[in-house]
Structure 1
Amino acid sequence: MKTQDFIQQKLTNFKDIFPGLIVCILIGLVAKYLGTLVPTLGGATIAILLGLLLGNTVLTHKKLHKGIRFSESNLLSYSIVLLGGTLSYTVILELGVSGVSFIILQMALTIAFCLFVGKQLGFSENFRLLMASGNAVCGSSAIGATAPVIKANDVEKSITITLVNLTGTILMMILPFLTNLLYENETMLSSALIGGTLQSVGQVVGSASMVNHDVLKYATIFKIVRIIFLVFVILGFAKLKKDEENHDAELHHKKPNAKIKIPWYVKGFFLMCFLFSIGFISENISLGFKQISNYLEIFALAGIGMSVKFKDLMKAGLKSGVYCLAIGIAQIIIAIILIWILL
């Protein structure tokens, strides 16, 4: 392809993307500002709700679709890579064996619960896997990272992100009362309940801030360790789907493909995490990565909200609400039991 043709194609692609991208950015900026006024909701949840409202009413023009698609997919991928540059493996040492064991078991049991109960309720495997990753690891970032690996469609991804964020927002306001009731706000136990349960970093920060500064610090560490394990959850789900594909291929007398394709953003996340851990990425640069990552996630969530249609949510219906409620209650109960045993 000639250089001139290549540039022309890129300009055409940019023109197609620009309208929807600008809309998502504007919604995200408004949501970010409103999140500072209403911290109990936070910018992420507000971005989804605004996107959901506007995407089903006044912002429905077809010219916005490509930009919205770009925002919800590409921007979230970039956010995930930059997030890796804010995480250090050394934080694992701060929690010790009992703290890390708590996180691993909490994540494993949450995933098992999501998959089992979701199957009993008749949800598709992809929907269950997305709910499992979102609730067990880090909300929308985990869902965005998992969706391409398991070949989930946009409707499944958008609806699960919306449901997981709404569930996390409700739990965010409940957990400070529970930590006071159960543990009298003791630092490590309260931190484990909040940091080991809530879906997004913003929700952890918001909830822990309602308790005290020490709980905020350690709850964030619990959450960061969960995010570090995101790579292993994705690889596990990828292997699960690949094994199923290979089994289907054998049944149809086709040659199985045993290779697991790891998405570029997962590799990028892992690499950035490694570079920050060895000190190649400075604290100041990491802070910049964190801020940029947060903005990109907000813009992506605005696009995700705009992609969710009311008719799709209606199809999900009461059964999805029951599913989310069951997961939230199960996460709290599992965490309380594990805290009693391990911490």
Structure 2
Amino acid sequence: MSNSSRFNFSNSLNWTQRIRELAPGFTVSLVAAAAATFLSEHYGAPVMLFALLLGMGLSFLSVEGRCKAGIEFTARTVMRIGIALLGMRITLEQITALGWQPVALVVTLIIVTISVSVVVAKLIGFQRLFGMLTGGATAICGASAALALSVALPNHPQKEKATLFTVIGVSALSTIAMIVYPMIAQWLELSPQHAGIFLGATIHDVAQVVGAGYSMSTETGDTATVVKLMRVAMLLPVIVCAAMITRMQGSTESNGQRPPLLPWFAVGFLILACINSTGWVPTVVQGGINELSRWCLVISISALGMKTQFKELATVGIKPVLFMVGESIFLVLLVLTLMHWLF
């Protein structure tokens, strides 16, 4: 047998062995994600929340045994793939259609919300990392932003626990917002477009923004969705800032190397957003990639739930809950103030 044949045979064996190693953990994460999707479609609660809870119920699988490696892979690599694919949700045309005011509003609310969250977190005794996670999740796109920032931020013993709590918190608050915020818009007698801007700028998760917006009117739903996608577009610069913080603190990845200034999933996010902006992507392809992104994130959040024990989240206490509620209230007041100034 030639050297090249031996090399190819060895690589084939390595890949086969790697797939067999990862398959059990990935499969159980996929099953949990499918169950979470079924429950979400039938009971109306956020799929991310169901995925987390189901994953936590299977947390014993990540402690040891055949599923551990696959769960680790799914919680890390599959999550990054899902984050990169989020870029297919946005186009430059969508962002420019509403004019400069919504762009200014979105940029301001993200900078102010994250900055205030980091400062307040430090003042009340939390790590700045927790303030960055919760502030980013509140200001940008809920659970997806929390997962993306968690990957980019420096390693910390409490990072996974903080990430899980943030995902649970924003999912619950987003569901409440989907019901309450349209009532606020009606009470304030906002026009359909202004109501869409308000909903798109304040509700955490994309699905809840769409649900709240179209529950009021088609115009409100369209506007809310575009404004929300502007917030999703801000995920990239925030991830870059988080990666720069990681590098400046001298943090390393699991292989001992310093993380790249621009993570590959952030590059993928940008490339897909640019491609989507050309208008050349067929609707069926765009829809397929968006659905794949959703599945990657749901599967990875199931795996992330499996990596955490119930008793760890039970030790969180009321203080961080009040902190996240306060962030959401602050965001509503900030957006209403900015809307008064800009429109």
TM (normalized to structure 1)?
A: 0.88
Return 69-78 or 152-161, whichever deviates more: 152-161
State the number of aligned residues.
330
CA contact (8 A) 2:118 2:131 kept: yes
What displacement does 1:297 show? Answer: 1.6
1:123 aligned to 2:129? no
CA contact (8 A) 1:139 1:161 kept: yes
Q: Which runs of 5+ in 2 are unaligned?
A: 1-5, 252-256
* Percent of pairs with identical residues: 22
The equivalent residue for 1:329 is: 329
CA RMSD of aligned residues (A): 2.4
1:33 aligned to 2:38? yes
Cα distance in 2 between the residues matched to 1:225 and 1:7:
44
Give 1:10's match in structure 2, choosing from 8, 11, 15: 15
Cα distance in 2 between the residues matched to 1:117 and 1:62:
41
CA contact (8 A) 2:88 2:289 kept: yes
Cα distance in 2 between the residues matched to 1:69 and 1:181:
47
What displacement does 1:173 show? Answer: 2.4
Amino acid at match of 2:153: I
Return 165-174 or 329-338, whichever deviates more: 165-174
CA contact (8 A) 1:183 1:189 kept: no
Amino acid at match of 1:191: G
| Cα deviations by residue, 1:282-327 (Å, 9 ceiling, x for unpaired) | 3331111111111222212222222232222123221111111111
Query: What does 1:1-343 correspond to in 2, within 5 Å?
Result: 2-39=7-44, 41-52=45-56, 54-56=57-59, 62-152=65-155, 153-184=159-190, 186-245=191-250, 261-343=261-343
Q: Which runs of 5+ in 1 are unaligned?
A: 247-256
Cα distance in 1 between the residues matched to 2:64 and 2:199:
41
Return 280-289 or 220-229, whichever deviates more: 280-289
After superposition, the Cα gap between the structure-2 partners of 1:196 and 1:274, relative to the gap in structure 1 and judged at 3 Å, is: same
Cα distance in 2 between the residues matched to 1:147 and 1:283:
31
Cα distance in 2 between the residues matched to 1:42 and 1:232:
26
Cα distance in 1 between the residues matched to 2:63 and 2:220:
43
Secondary structure of the residue that 1:95 maps to in structure 2? Answer: coil
| Cα deviations by residue, 1:71-101 (Å, 9 ceiling, x for unpaired) | 2222221112222123111111122111111
Secondary structure of the residue that 1:63 maps to in structure 2? Answer: coil
Cα distance in 2 between the residues matched to 1:83 and 1:165:
18
The equivalent residue for 1:251 is: none
| Cα deviations by residue, 1:179-225 (Å, 9 ceiling, x for unpaired) | 111135x2122112211112221121222233222221111100111
Return 161-170 or 218-227, whichever deviates more: 161-170
Secondary structure of the residue that 2:204 maps to in structure 1? Answer: coil
Runs of 4+ more than 6 Å apart: 57-60
Cα distance in 2 between the residues matched to 1:244 and 1:301:
27
